[in-house]
Amino acid sequence: MSNSLPVVAVASLGGTISMTPSDAAGGVVPTLDATQLARSVPGLSEVATIKTTSLRQLPSASLGYGDLMDALTWAEQQVADGASGVVLTQGTDTLEETAFLLDLFWKLPAPLILTGAMRAPQAAGADGPANLLAAVRTAVHPDSIGRGVLVVMNDTAHYARWVSKGDALAVQAFVSLDGGVAARLVEGCPTFFHARQTRPQPLARPVRAWPKVAMVTAVLGDDGELAEMALKGGYEAVVIAAQGAGHVSFGFAERIGPLAAQVPVVIASRAAGGSTASRTYGYVGAEIDLARRGAHLCGWLSPLKARLLVTALLASGVAPGAVGDALANWSKLTRQ
């Protein structure tokens, strides 16, 4: 019977889903591996034949680009070896970033699903087992094919493109404000709400060291000094989480031209949702002025995701002078 089940490869990277109490640390720390996680899920073996691997045991803030590229290589290998889908478990703190970064490079139709937990395994109402079960169910579902990387949490699937962590501790932590959620799981079965979108061409694997790309939030009373200081720190591009639809102060605006003459400067909105504008506001420091000074407006991309896209573009060999066009092209293809 189990021979007819699809194979799903599950790898653990750490996070709350894998954490148990440590007296020495005074709180929970990652200890459980993928095999232990899979064993804790009632009914998992009836959904798929599970192959487990433990890749890392890290809190997700400490995952690095190398860890994620290793996970990507591992995931591609699992599909090559016959897995129908792949699931990565990790901490939720950086899930919106890791999912997006992996999605930029994921070239296979097979689903790559990321999941985690908001409550550690010992907590009353721990959500890890339910999330892992939902992730595996999504991984084996034919409607999940060709949708890139999905985040499955709380019986909801999110596209890597849109997902963000909307709450620090609640079980319903993830939202997809602008694009909407990808699917909801009902009785274990994902119902997708959109037809598949044409996905942008996956990026080539990095051909150079990962560049440092700064993300600077424009705040009240700010003259942009921090953005300028990033250059002294060796940052190769600056993403500005700007006010509203892509706006900064007069003083900040004056720094944009000289900055953009040296490195790509990307303007995202620091608002929780919504896009940068392109032809609405005409004052100094607004989107039209910043674009004239050489900055690139990144539309619907959140600052976190814009920073990763610029980082990945540079790492995969795109020249700094071509980042603006690459960003525009990417945004065009992913507009819904």
DSSP 200: P
93 forms part of the interface with ligand GLU (CB under 6 A): yes
Q: Which residue is nearest to ligand GLU (CB)?
A: 91
Q: Concatenate the DSSP letters of all residues of 88-107 into one string.
A: EE--STTHHHHHHHHHHH--
Say if residues 187 and 134 touch (Cβ distance below 8 Å): no
Taking the complex as a whole, how short is the minimal distance between the CB of residue 18 and ligand GLU, in angstroms?
8
Find the shortest distance in angstroms from Cβ 39 to ligand GLU. Answer: 19
Given the residues 16, 52, 89, 115, the one annotated as active site: 16
- Residue 98 interacting with ligand GLU (CB under 6 A): no
All residues at 6 or more sequence positions from 249 whose CB lies less than 8 Å from its CB, including other chains = 218, 221, 222, 223, 224, 285
Identify which range of 78-86, 91-99, 148-156, 245-253 contacts ligand GLU by CB under 6 A: 91-99
Answer yes or no: 94 catalytic: no
State which residue, 118 or 298, has the beta carbon closest to ligand GLU: 118
Could you tell me the smallest distance in angstroms from the CB atom of residue 92 to ligand GLU? 3
Phi, psi for 317 (deg, rounded to 5): 105, 5
Q: How far is the CB of 98 from ligand GLU (least distance, A)?
A: 10
Q: Confirm or reject binding of residue 92 to ligand GLU (CB under 6 A).
A: yes
Asked whether the beta carbons of 210 and 105 are under 8 A apart, the reply is no
E-strand spans in the chain? Answer: 7-14, 19-22, 27-30, 49-58, 85-89, 112-115, 149-153, 156-159, 164-165, 174-175, 183-186, 189-192, 213-217, 237-242, 265-269, 296-297
Q: Strands 49-58, 85-89: parallel, antiparallel or unpaired by DSSP?
A: unpaired
Assess 60 for contact with ligand GLU (CB under 6 A): yes
Dihedral, CA of residue 299, residue 66, residue 73 and residue 328, to nearest 10: 20
**Residue positions forming the annotated binding site for substrate:** 60, 92-93
Could you say whether residue 121 binds ligand GLU (CB under 6 A)?
A: no
CA angle 327, 330, 332 (to 5 degrees): 110
**Is the Cβ of residue 167 or residue 325 nearer to ligand GLU in the bound state?**
167
The reply to whether 59 sits near ligand GLU by the rule CB under 6 A is yes
- 310 near 213, Cβ under 8 Å? yes
Find the part of the chain contacting ligand GLU (CB under 6 A) among 116-124, 143-151, 222-230, 269-277: 116-124
The interface region with ligand GLU, picked from 86-94, 101-109, 155-163, 213-221 by CB under 6 A, is: 86-94
Residues 249-288 within binding reach of ligand GLU (CB under 6 A)? none
Amino acid at 115: T
* Of the residues 7, 83, 86, 91, which one makes contact with ligand GLU according to CB under 6 A: 91
Task: Tell the smallest beta-carbon distance from residue 31 to ligand GLU (Å).
Answer: 13
Residue numbers of the site for ligand GLU (CB under 6 A)?
Answer: 14-16, 59-60, 91-93, 116-118
Residues annotated as part of the active site: 16
